[in-house]
Chains A and B, each alone.
Chain A
Amino acid sequence: MEDEEYIVGEPIYYEVLSAFMSIFIWGSGQFFLCKQRLKGILLFAIQLIIIAIEIFTGYWPEYFAGQIEHFNFRLYGGYFTHGIWGLVTLGQYKGAGNDHSTVLMLNGIICCIVIFFILVFYICNIVDAFNQARIYRRTKKKTSSKEYAKQLYREIFPYIFLTPALLMVIFIVIMPIIFSVLTAFTNYNRNHMPPGNLVDWVGIENFKNLLHSPIWSSTFFGVFKWTIIWAVVATTTTYFLGMFQAILLNHPSVRFKSLYRGIMILPWAIPQMISLMVFKNLLNGQFGPVSALLVKIGVTKERVMFLSDPALAKFTIIMVNLWLGFPIFMIMIQGVLSNINNELYEAAAIDGATSWQKFYKITFPLVFRATSPLVVMTFASNFNGFGSVFFLTEGGPANPDYNFAGSTDILISWIYQLTLEHKMYNMAAVMCIMLFILIGGISLWNFKRTSAFKEV
């Protein structure tokens, strides 16, 4: 490593020349100036392969032979040029068999990712030419390709093991996110469905729409408000009920502790989706047994529409979520409670503290400090609490003041409806970006407070 350090005043023409050569012909600096023959040839071969891919996937030979009169990238471009053309134009001719805008966009994105990696490799090649030239100039000894391969293996060992996971993440996570973000700047919706129609770039039109078109902005802010209320209320109710139950279970007068615990843990263990579908039927206003029972014992005269009255439906969703969500906090807080040193309470008792003071001054601060990361995580995941809303009400009941959203829709279920039911992909993508900023902000803030951030 010492060899690679720059000494002030030292002439570096040799290195610059080597890097300069490798800019045009990959590996040439390594081959001619550093005497690394095999490596130079390999690098050059890679460059040739990349160029060959472009030439032979397109119609470049015919073009150079003068057989094509009106050259365009749409018909005659190779993998790279055609891909970029697709991403830039999103297609020029509509109709089946012609340009399919979204497929072109997808291929364009993949093509850009490939180009990105080629660029990274290319830059590594130039930097390497520079460094190897310095080593050669100073030592006048050539590093054989074999030695270099050994050294290289040591350096890229981690990357080899990360490659499969990295590929998965790039194609399954990153690429779709790029696609979504780009969709927010197009007019991809039910009026522009490929292959029948073309999709076009529209700039920030959709964002303007969101803020200035009355129907969109009132829907967005309405749904947004309910999303926040939902996330806050859902998190706090489950947290405090969980804490309450844990403290009660911890009380010395309770017998059959494990029986109670075993029962109360069930909502956590039963698959959530199943529970939600069961509740949807249990609370069904027309046919469900709960509203039937209420009528029978005379509490209400008519059947209660738990899930189809806007306000009541919101309340019901929160109550069902409480049923689902309190056990995990109960388990966690029980764990914390069992670790609290009993001497603290004994000392407090000597000082004459009441049980409320004991809770307020000892139990709560300790429990809260231990569980606050979990609270924030639950809060962030409640923003994405798709299941509770979708399986209970499907976002309904319908709200005449909203555009494509129901009264109980939160952002994420609205996005789902916009995408699958109404095919408003562009607006859905705008909402995705909004949601992402929101959740990302909360989680990053939370994460910054914890230690893991510093020790990456």
Chain B
Amino acid sequence: MKTKRFKKSDVVAFLINAELILTSILVIVPVIWIVSSSFNNGTSLITSGFLPKSFTLDNYRRLFHETSYIVWFCNTFEIAILNMIVSVSLIMISAWTVSRFYFKWKKAGMLTMLVLSMFPTFLSMTAMYTLFVTLGLIGKPIALVMIYTGGAIPYNVWLVKGYLDGISKELDEAAYVDGCSRIKSFFLIVLPLSKPIIVYCAVSQFMMPWMDYILPNLLLSGDDNKTVAVGLYSLIHGHENLYFTTFAAGAVIVAIPITVIYLLFQKFLVQGISAGANKG
């Protein structure tokens, strides 16, 4: 009797571990494949099997010398940094105002924001395009920064407002009594206490241009204005046998830092996502 039961739990343990190993393999195979492709000899997809036949750094050399990868990377980095700074400051200030002060039309305004946050920015791309043509900003990175910032405000203001509501208002009031101005209380009390949500906003805003294809493709023309996403896509679109391994190298280079950032800030990002689902 006793041995039989041991057997059953052994079988369960075996099955569970087997499943985990299998899933892990399925998860990691594409990753290993793209990394090994980037070190593979030859340029084409057809010769890029699961196991590299030989090891070479040629693809990385080609990536840097024959494509404008460095320019794309710098463009994206520039947009990412600008976007991060501008949107985080706007989001924090607005969310603080909404959380701490009463004003007319607050409820109506917040509900409008909520409805707006459901509308993906790129759906109105015709209007965007016309707008930026009129403003003469087509092909300038600032256009993208503006779109990303504007698009991020409705959702993130809701999110951060929820977080700030959780910070006790008594702290602010105590500071007012001590003669602290409202703006000062924002910088000295509220900001330091909202580090997790700031990290979430900063990382997600920083990631925006690395992941986005549609808007940069629409608004930035010319090889020298491309972002990494658009550039990489142009490498494999239609000629996967000419540039595939070069694409692999480019993909690996951009994926590594981003993956590391995600893993490092995992805790904050997960918190942010679940707070977003619960909207505070």
Residue ranges of A at the interface with B (Cβ–Cβ < 8 Å): 102-103, 106-107, 155, 157-159, 161-162, 164-165, 168-169, 171-177, 179-180, 183, 245, 248-249, 251, 253-255, 260, 263-275, 277-282, 284, 287-289, 292-293, 323, 328, 331-332, 335, 371, 373-374, 376-377, 380, 384, 386-387, 390-391, 412, 415-416, 419-420, 425, 428-429, 432, 435-436, 439-440, 443-444, 447, 450, 452, 455-456
Contact = CB atoms under 8 A, between A and B. Distances in A.
Contact of A452 (B119, B207, B270, B279): B279
B154 interface: yes
A162 B113 contact: no
A384 B122 CA distance: 11
Given A287-B44, A456-B111, 17 more contacts: A102-B130, A172-B151, A179-B124, A265-B266, A269-B263, A281-B236, A289-B33, A331-B266, A376-B277, A391-B233, A419-B126, A432-B124, A439-B119, A443-B118, A447-B279, A452-B162, A452-B279
A169 B150 contact: yes
Interface string B104-116: 0011001101111
Contacts of A266: 27-28, 31, 259
A428 B134 contact: no
B258 interface: yes
Contact of B115 (A157, A168, A440): A440
B262 A179 contact: no
Given A162-B94, A268-B262, A374-B274, A450 B279 contact: yes
B131 interface: yes
B255 A419 contact: no
Contacts of B96: 161
B16 interface: yes
Given A281-B236, A377-B276, A447-B279, A176 B127 contact: yes
B272 to A, nearest CB: 12
Contact of B107 (A171, A415, A440, A456): A456
B115 A444 contact: yes
Contacts, number: 248
Contacts of A175: 127, 131
B117 to A, nearest CB: 8
B70 to A, nearest CB: 18
Contact of A168 (B33, B150, B165, B270): B150
A142 B94 CA distance: 35
Given A253-B12, A452-B278, A173 B33 contact: no
B85 interface: no
B6 interface: no
B229 A273 contact: yes
A432 B123 contact: yes
B134 A169 contact: no
Given A179-B130, A273-B229, A284 B240 contact: yes
Contacts of A168: 90, 146, 149-150, 153
Interface of B: 9, 12-13, 16-17, 19-20, 23-24, 26-28, 30-31, 33-34, 44-46, 48-50, 90-91, 93-94, 96-98, 101-103, 106-107, 110-111, 113-116, 118-128, 130-131, 133-134, 146-147, 149-151, 153-154, 157-158, 162, 165, 182, 207, 210-214, 218, 229, 232-233, 236, 240-241, 244, 247, 251, 254-255, 258-259, 262-263, 266, 270, 273-274, 276-280
Contacts of B101: 157-158
B27 A277 contact: no
Contact of A176 (B94, B113, B131, B236): B131
Nearest to B100: A158
Q: Would you list the 3 A-B pairs with minimal beta carbon distance, nearest first?
A: A172-B150, A176-B124, A179-B127
A249 B20 contact: yes
B124 A254 contact: no
Instruction: Name the residue in B44, B127, B278 with the highest tally of chain A Cβ atoms < 10 Å from its Cβ.
Output: B127
Contacts of B134: 103, 106-107
Nearest to A164: B90
A274 B26 contact: no
Given A168-B90, A373-B278, A439-B118, A180 B124 contact: yes
Contact of B16 (A107, A248, A293): A248
Contacts of B119: 173, 177, 436, 439-440
B13 A177 contact: no
Contact of A172 (B33, B121, B207, B210): B121
Contacts of B122: 386, 416
